[in-house]
Amino acid sequence: MRVQPVTNCEKAVILEALKIGKRFDFRSLEEFRDVKLVVGAEVGTAICTIGNTKVMAAVSAEIAEPSSMRPHKGVINIDVDLSPMANYANEHDRLGSKGMELIRLLELIIRDSRCIDVEALCIRAGKEIWKIRVDVRILDEDGSLLDCACLAAITALQHFRRPNVTLEPHHTLIYSEYEKAPVPLNIYHMPICTTIGLLDKGQIVVIDPTDKETACLDGSIVVACNKRREVCALHQSTNLILSTKQIERCVKLAMARAEALTAVVSDVIKQDQIERSAFKRPDGFAITTPSLILTAGTTASRQIRAPVIKTEPESFTQRSLYQPSVILNENPLSVGSVKQEDVDEETLLAEQLTTIQNSVGQVEVTEKQTVAVSSRKREVEEVNDLLDGLDDDDEEEEVQTMTLGSETVLNDVPMEEAPDAEDSLVNAKKKKKK
Amino acid sequence: MAGRLREMRCELSFLKNADGSACFSQGATCIWASCSGPGDVHASKASDEAMTLDISYRANCGDNKFNVLNNIIHSTLSNAINLELFPHTTISVTVHGIQDDGSMGAVAINGACFALLDNGMPFETVFCGVLIVRVKDELIIDPTAKQEAASTGRVLFSVCKGSDGHPEVCAMDAIGHWDFIQLEAAWSLAQPSASAIFDFYKTVMKRKLSVDEQ
């Protein structure tokens, strides 16, 4: 199927807005979109979201025979799939020019930057090596596809564990995950990719452009660097003549971004290790992708969800610590104070939301209708207080969550109450908007 | 253990570019499904009488050339939707198996139905998928990956709601040795599960549309 192109008036409006420093998603020109990372139950799987762009990466390994030219080194293969889910113009099993560019750049960033120790993947020189395969699936497209794909692939490689191997004379023993613990890959550094759009012959810099902005720009430059401020790759699209000052400015912006995202990846991997260290297989994408999707929409939906799921406020406060993009870009001198303020606000909101949940719990204990009615009035009042602080201009996505399962009678009561709380919260927000 | 359906969760309308999208999970098995169209079709695939179905199931690893689930989803969609309403068009249904913990076929069929419901396709009848495996002469509904690996027989029912409201078999895929008595027992187990899934459909769509109306 064909995609509707950007119309002339749409392009004119976008260009006029960019030249006066404004964007249609209310960002400034040098502001990044939110990044959200989730790792799955299987080792080596990760879903990354930048704005509306969603990419999934999965890593697998098998034993193969090395090439005669490099008998001591393992192999890393990158495979990219442009799914019709991401864009209905994509055909099945056809990459096109965009897909080929994506594969070459990912190979350049992940393989040719030598971020993974390929000599450690050798089992027996000249006979047996590990062959690592990274499958990247594009699930939704809204610009900055390479940034999202690179971050998902790096996270999946960090998350991956290969089976333990023991060498004996004339044969090799491969242990399952129940016999010996799997071994992580040796990763030297994490290259993080940043796409920067350019306008007016490079005079105007547009960071992290969306799909429609990309169609209106003169071109873009892609900078991949790690947190040690080393540039791993530099790629420029279309025909542009740039001065070294312009390129240096882009590289500085990308380096600040790489430091922030490296902290995000490390934090996500650590949290997953804590979950797995209790010999418990985490639920992975079945539980975390709904929270990932919900928080990609608006701030209000994230806060409204908090009373139902207890673990969410903690993870949000931790993630917000590592992603103060606005703070980093706007006023670096007062980073510490602004961070503290953000944390205090969110803890206050979390406390208020826990009081709402406690009031819902009170409804369970007492069976009288009068107490239930009064507690719901309290809920509505507290929700109105919360919604006063929120922007009324937030657009709410059509996101629906339902759970159904055969559970014991004791668990039925909280399941019935929780949707009521959600309905009352959503109703209160709707009334606020009207 | 035999008569239990794992916990189901569903999210709708979260992909920007797809006309209909669903994130559906049963237990730890999770899929993302999207549906776009009806849209324009290439001349080589066009049909003057009916809509062309473009269905693709994509796993995490490996190539996406062909998957056996494409056939059963194609057969089910041909029965559930009146394709003659949209001649000379195509519809693209894509299912990504995000996380596999057993019963991937049934979850993919359910997710595809949710994506079509979110897209607003005119259904003649809703459909769902139920997977039943046989482990040592015991039938298990909605098995986990371990149960599926230990099974000696596997049958995937694609169930439609008949005109009288009762579940009917629309398509079926069986692996292993099944005689008629065992198939009858499996179908008697699948029917209440299909009714539970149909009730879940109704609950989710009622909730989605109730929020829209406010």
**Closest Cα to residue A397, out of A140, A30, A197?**
A140
Of residues B177 and A311, more confidence is placed in: B177
CB contact under 8 A, A403 and B32: no
* A392: in domain: no
Kindly state whether residue A4 falls inside one of the protein's structural domains.
no
For B183, half-sphere exposure in the C-beta direction (CA atoms, 13 angstrom radius) is 13
Omega within 30 of 0 (cis) for the link into A282 = no
Cβ within 8 Å, pair B39-A141: no
Residue A3, in any domain of the structure: no
Whole-angstrom distance, CA of residue A85 vs CA of residue B111: 13
* Between B48 and A373, the higher pLDDT residue: B48
Q: Which two tokens stand for residue A271?
A: 């949290």
Is residue A326 scored above 60 in pLDDT?
no
Planar angle of CA B73, B75, B78, nearest 5 degrees: 105
Q: What pLDDT shows up at residue A168?
A: 85
What pLDDT does residue A282 have? Answer: 76
Question: What ipTM does this complex have?
Answer: 0.91
By percentage, how much of chain A surpasses pLDDT 90?
A: 27
Contact at CB, B96 and A399, closer than 8 angstroms: no
Q: What average pLDDT does the segment A321-334 reach?
A: 33
Phi, psi of B203 (to 5 degrees): -65, -45
pLDDT the model gives residue A386: 60
What pLDDT does residue A155 have?
Answer: 94
- pLDDT on residue A330: 30
- Token pair belonging to A13: 């409006």
pLDDT of residue B141: 87
Q: Name residues whose C-beta falls within 8 Å of residue A309's C-beta, 6 or more positions apart in sequence.
A: A291
Residue A197 has pLDDT above 70, yes or no: yes
Q: Could you state, in order of their start, the residue ranges of all structural domains in chain B?
A: 8-213
pLDDT of residue B7: 83
Q: What mean pLDDT comes out for the span A198-209?
A: 87
Interface of A with B in 175-194 (CB under 8 A): none
On whether the CB atoms of residues A188 and A114 are closer than 8 A, the answer is yes
For A10-61, the DSSP string reads HHHHHHHHHHTT--TTS--TT-PPPEEEEE-SSTTEEEEEETTEEEEEEEEE
Strand-pair category, A231-236 with B52-58: unpaired
For residue B68, report the phi and psi dihedrals to the nearest 5 degrees. -65, -25
What SS3 state is found at A347? helix
pLDDT at A350 (0 to 100): 61
Residue A323 lies in a domain: no
- Determine the average pLDDT of the residues in A358-364: 49
Q: Identify the pLDDT of residue A415.
A: 37
Chain A interface mutation, best of B1, B8, B13, B15, highest count of A Cβ atoms under 10 Å: B15
Domain count, chain A: 1
Mean pLDDT for A303-326 is 34
Whether pLDDT at A321 is above 50: no
A193: domain CATH number is 3.30.230.70
pLDDT tens per residue, range B134-160? 987 889 989 999 899 999 998 999 999
> Who wins on pLDDT, A366 or B117?
B117
- CB burial of A320-355 (b: ≥16 within 10 Å; e: otherwise) equals eebbebebbbeeeeeeeeeeeebeeebeebbebbee
How far apart CA A214 and CA A198 sit, in angstroms, is 9
Task: Report pLDDT for B103.
Answer: 92
Structure confidence by residue, pLDDT tens digits, B172-214: 889 898 988 999 899 998 989 999 999 999 899 987 888 655 4
More confident site: A236 or A294? A236
Choose among B32, B141, B127, B23: nearest CA to B75: B127
Cβ atoms of A224 and A113 closer than 8 Å: yes
Encode pLDDT of A383-395 as tens digits.
Answer: 655 665 454 333 3
**Run of H or E residues at A323:** none
What are the residue ranges of helices labelled H in chain B? Answer: 68-80, 104-119, 145-149, 180-213
Three-class secondary structure of residue A219 per DSSP: strand
Contact by Cβ (8 Å): A417, A394: no
A157-161, A206-210, A312-316, B207-211: least confidently modelled range: A312-316
A contact test, residue of B8, B60, B67 with most A CBs within 10 A: B60
Q: What span, in angstroms and rounded, lies between the C-alpha atoms of A19 and A205?
A: 10
More confident residue, A339 or A193: A193
pLDDT band of A8, cuts 50, 70, 90: very high
- Identify the band that residue A374 occupies on the pLDDT scale cut at 50, 70 and 90: very low
Residue B14 has its nearest CB partner, among A45, A86, A397, at A397
CA closest to A295 among chain B residues: B14
In a domain, A412, yes or no: no
pLDDT at position A424 over 60: no
Query: At residue A50, what are phi and psi to the nearest 5 degrees?
Result: -120, 105
- A327 alpha carbon, distance to own chain's centre: 19
- Two tokens, residue B151: 């099974």
- Look at residue A125 in the predicted model and tell me its pLDDT: 92
Count the Cβ atoms, other than its own, within 10 Å of residue A431: 13
The pLDDT-based confidence of A335 (bands split at 50, 70, 90) is very low
Query: What distance, in Å, lies between the first and last C-alpha atoms of chain A?
Result: 39
Confidence band for A336, pLDDT divided at 50, 70 and 90: very low
Spatial separation of the C-alpha atoms in residues A28 and A21, rounded to whole Å:
6
Give the integer Cα–Cα distance in Å for A83 and B183.
Answer: 37
- Residue A432: the pLDDT is 45
The pair of three-digit structure tokens given for residue A206, joined into one six-digit string = 């547009």
Among the partner residues B65, B99, B200, nearest to A284 by beta-carbon distance: B99
Residue type, A61: A
Residues 403-432, chain A, touching B (beta carbon < 8 A): 403-406, 426-427, 430
Burial A200-221 (b: 16+ CB within 10 A, else e): eebebbbbbbbbebbebbbbbb
| φ/ψ (deg, to 5) at B169 | -75, 125
Side chain identity at A413, as an amino acid letter? V
Tokens of A134: 């990274």
Q: Residue range B75-100: average pLDDT?
A: 91
Tell me the C-alpha distance between B88 and B42, whole Å: 9
- Give the number of C-alpha atoms closer than 13 A to the C-alpha of residue A170, restricted to the C-beta side: 0
The residue ranking higher by pLDDT, A12 or B154, is A12
Q: What is the DSSP letter of A67?
A: P
Is residue A234, in this structure, part of any structural domain at all?
A: yes
Q: For residue A41, is it within any domain?
A: yes
Residue type, B11: E
Say if residue A21's pLDDT is above 50: yes
Residue A380: the pLDDT is 61
| Residue A67 clears pLDDT 60, i.e. is over it | yes
The per-residue pLDDT for range B80-91, each reduced to its tens digit, is 999 989 998 999
Taking only residues 66 to 95 of chain A, the set having a beta carbon closer than 8 angstroms to any beta carbon of chain B reads: 81, 83-88, 92-93
Specify the range with the lowest mean pLDDT, choosing from A38-47, A346-355, B62-71, B147-156.
A346-355
pLDDT class of A372 with cuts at 50, 70, 90: very low
CB contact under 8 A, B99 and A293: no
* pLDDT confidence of residue A147: 92
The average pLDDT across B72-85 equals 91
Exposed/middle/buried for residue A245 (C-beta within 10 Å: 0-12, 13-18, 19+) = exposed
Per-residue pLDDT, A284:
81
Neighbours of B36 (CB within 10 A): 25
Which residue of B32, B90, B107, B119 to mutate against A (max A Cβ within 10 Å)? B32
Mean pLDDT of A103-107: 89
- Does B65 sit within 8 Å of A399, measured CB to CB? no
More confident residue, A365 or B97: B97
- A427 in a domain, yes or no? no
Evaluate if residue A359 carries a pLDDT over 80.
no
* Angle formed at CA A391 by CA A385 and CA A395, multiple of 5 degrees: 120
Distance from CA of B87 to the nearest CA of A (A): 15
pLDDT score for A334: 37
What's the topology of domain B8-213? Ribosomal Protein S5; domain 2 (3.30.230)
> Which of A250-264, A339-353, B25-39 has the weakest average pLDDT?
A339-353
A-B C-beta contacts closer than 8 Å: 157
Residue A6 in this model has a pLDDT that exceeds 50: yes
Q: Is the pLDDT of residue A278 over 60?
A: yes
* A403 backbone dihedrals φ, ψ, rounded to 5°: -125, 140
**B207/A140 Cβ within 8 A:** no
Is the pLDDT at A329 greater than 80? The verdict is no
CB B56 within 8 A of CB B111: no
What is residue A124's three-state secondary structure? Answer: strand
Instruction: Tokens 């003549």: give the residue.
Output: A241
Q: Which residue of A has its CA nearest to B26?
A: A286
What is the predicted pLDDT for the residue at B154? Answer: 82
Res. A427: pLDDT tops 60: no
Quote the domain boundaries for residue A242: 25-278
**∠ at Cα A37 (A34, A43), nearest 5°?**
170
CA distance to A105, A248, A323, per residue, from A223 (Å): 11, 10, 19
Give the residues across from B127 on adjacent strands.
B160
Pairing of strands A161-162, B8-12: unpaired
Average pLDDT score, chain A: 73
